[in-house]
Amino acid sequence: MKNKVSIITVVFNDAANIRETIESALGQTYQEKEYIIIDGGSTDGTVEIINEYVDRIDYFSSESDNGIFDAMNKGAQHAAGEWINFLNSGDTFASPRALEQVIELGKADEADVIYADSIQISGQDSLAISTPDDASQLALYPIYRHGSSLVRTRLQLEYPFDTAQSKALGFALDYHMIYTLFRSGCRFCKANTTLQTYRLEGTSNYPYRSLLYNYRITRRGGSLLATTLFFLKGTVRQMLKSSTAYRWMFAFLEEYMVNDILPHIPFWALRRPLLRVARLRIGQKSFIMKRCYIMNANRVVIGNYTHLNRGCMLDARGGIEIGSNVSLSYDCRLITGSHSVRSPHFSASYLPIRIGDYAWLGVGATVLQGVTVGEGAVVCAGAVVTRDVEPYAIVGGVPARKIGERPRGVDYHCVWDAPFT
């Protein structure tokens, strides 16, 4: 079977979460898959729960092991698929179509490793974690969550988790394996979708220890100067993040400067570099007019020749990517944040929005969290978009639905250079 995926779940005494993980794996719409569970000899009822699904599990064992990475190596030995994905207990797939989308978008025929975005759960809140397209940054740090990736089975078996390094590298053995693949010349490809949801309350929720482990890994194979500087920079940044001064400085740059100072500067040539100070990434010849409101400018990426009209609101807490030659008309709103109406705790969630090249959003259009507006699509004035829009589709209404289709082959730039705007 082409591109068959072996989903491997490792668990030990996690009766509280194992059912949700199993149902997430079995509920994937992707047909070319198998499911493997490696239990470490649980005694809390985990095995009894697994046995409820045993007729739908391709391989299951319950025996003592030497830790999570030893168990993951055991699981890989039983994989019959072309790809391996680790969905460990407590984690879930981001949607029923997550695997299907990763295979579809990840250029499987050209890749050795396909990686994607993740959703982090912290307490009652969730946050989308975006990953860089540029895999060369793996030379310095793990750019993606290991569970949100597919690795070719032959490579996983050739480069297993090196449990002999457990004492020195702790919970970073997964990055050690990824780094080894990277240094071996393997091809990494980003799938522009979200694969897994994970809980922050795990063994890797120790930022200083993570920095140290990552440094021990990268200094062996990369530039000692570059890796040392990156380690020191990361340590200082982490120290600052825990201080009150950093909180105020971040708020000044990301909120006050962006939304209270810049709107009064009449020259784009001055506003643009200041937005870059706030870590907003914007391509050549793109233009943001005055009086736009931007939350978390550091999570906004804008391509080339894109124009944002006055009054636009970008809630980028979950991440916003706007392509090239995109036009956002007056008073458009991109909202990545929301709350669960079913949660007794009013839980917050933050999911990314992606706007494809040549898309056009009409006056007062609203795009809600987790939506991708395809290349060349048109969102009519006043529409509220709650689900993905196909490339070159025209949608309108509340909620937005397809009402037409735009001719393909568009070729233009959204250029705006009027003074004092």
As annotated, the active-site residues are 339
E strand or H helix that includes residue 289: none
Q: Look up residue 326 and give its two tokens.
A: 């995109």
Q: What are phi and psi of 393, to 5 degrees?
A: -80, 150
Query: Which distant-in-sequence residues (6+ apart) come within 8 Å of 148 by Cβ?
Result: 115, 116, 117, 118, 131, 194, 195, 196
Task: Report how far apart the first and last C-alpha atoms of the chain are (Å, whole number).
Answer: 57
Q: Which residues pair with 150 in a beta bridge?
A: 114
Structure tokens at 244: 């009150």
CB atoms within 10 A of CB 126: 21
Closest CA to 109 of 82, 84, 85: 82
Closest by CA to 292, choosing from 326, 262, 335, 324, is 262
DSSP type of residue 374:
P
Cis previous bond, 399, omega within 30: yes
